Amino acid sequence: MARDLAALAGRLVVAERMQLPLRARLSLLDGALRQAERYTASAVHEARQAGASWDDVAQAARTTAAQAGAWWDTPALRALFPPLETTDRYRAVQRLADALAYLQARSGVSVDEAAERSGLRLPYLLQALAGKCVPTWPEVYTLACVFTGSAEDLRVLWESADGAVRPARLPARGAAGYLAAALRGLHLAAGFPTLRQLSSRALLPPECLSGILAGRHTPPWAATARLVRALGGSIEDIEPLWQAVLQAAVDLHGTDPSWQLGCVCCRVATQDGP
């Protein structure tokens, strides 16, 4: 959430420097202020969950306990975090935007510099990074290069955001690499959590996760599904890719090798199911 706030503030600075229309700058400011409110509420909620009293919160916020409770109690949190549109398409577009925004922040390339180097109009790029539009694949590819990322890792994210219809059966050739790239894309969209953080969410050992994301091995489906959920991804997007890997293994060995997939760690970690 802090990263999102910093990104919004950076876009506002760029908008001011480029002298974008007042309406565009005020819209960015409104978004930054709303995000700041959400960040504050989220920080207070985390402190309360950790055992802080309203008096503790009030002291930190330089207000009274009664006022702090009125600002950040459960009904107030519901108002600050209203239910978002939850269609599959909306979530897919947001995952692509989050991955691009993370790459941009990690690269250190400013948004206006990225617009110049990619040949995209600045307002359009700001919309793409905020999830307000879906760029074309050549545009995504170019942005990945500008941000020194791997376009291959963004391919499945873009296909889902764009609504591309995949064939019922994917080619087995190169399937393992395609699956690993898709999982790396989800890792980017999730803000690139550390392997230790991801391990606690996916209930898989860090060394196992390292091998999966690097494409050194394909885990059993239970482990794959667990990882996808931990990264906030779509099972429907990833399962056909995993099935293509399985088919490639069948073509190679002539029998169902699913019980052999993955490393010993992930097979043991998921022996009780997903």
Complete DSSP assignment for 200-267 = HHHTS-HHHHHHHHHTS-PPPHHHHHHHHHHTT--HHHHHHHHHHHHHHHHHHHSS--GGG-S-HHHH
Look at 18 and 134; give whichever has higher pLDDT: 134
Measured distance CA(206)–CA(220) in Å, rounded: 16
Backbone angles phi, psi at 203, to 5 degrees: 55, 45
Sequence-separated (6 or more) residues with CB below 8 Å from residue 119: 142
Domains of the chain: 2-80 (no CATH), 88-162 (1.10.260.40), 175-269 (1.10.260.40)
CA distance 114 to 110: 6
Higher pLDDT, 3 or 130: 130
In this prediction, residue 216 carries a pLDDT of 87
Residue with tokens 């993370």: 102
CA distance 154 to 29: 29
Nearest to 7 by CA among 130, 93, 95: 130
Tokens 């309360």 belong to residue = 48
**72 vs 54: CA distance, rounded Å:** 10
- Residue 59 is predicted with a pLDDT of 93
What pLDDT score does 251 carry? Answer: 75
How far is CA 99 from each of CA 35, 63, 110, 122, 163, rounded to the nearest angstrom? 19, 38, 16, 18, 17
CA-CA distance, 269 to 47, in Å (whole number)? Answer: 32
* pLDDT (tens digit per residue) in 210-234: 999 998 888 888 889 999 999 999 9
DSSP structure class, residue 135: -
The mean-pLDDT minimum among 99-103, 126-130, 256-260 falls in 256-260
Asked whether the beta carbons of 96 and 161 are under 8 A apart, the reply is: yes
Residue 20 phi, psi dihedral angles, 5° rounding: -65, 160
Residue 230 CB coordination number (10 Å):
21
96/90: higher pLDDT: 96
What average pLDDT score do residues 242-257 get? 74
pLDDT digits (tens, 9 = 90+) for 23-39: 777 877 887 888 788 88
**Which pair of structure tokens corresponds to residue 13?**
């600075």
Which single residue is written with the structure tokens 């906030």? 232
- Predicted pLDDT of residue 199: 92
Q: How far apart are the first and last CA of the chain?
A: 29
User: How many Cβ atoms from other residues are within 10 Å of residue 113's Cβ?
Assistant: 14
Tens-place pLDDT, residues 133-190: 999 999 999 999 999 999 999 999 999 999 876 655 566 667 889 999 999 999 999 9
Q: Are 269 and 208 spatial neighbours (Cβ–Cβ below 8 Å)?
A: yes
Residues of the chain with pLDDT > 70: what percent? 82
Share of the chain above pLDDT 90, in %: 41
Distance CA 206, CA 222 (A): 16
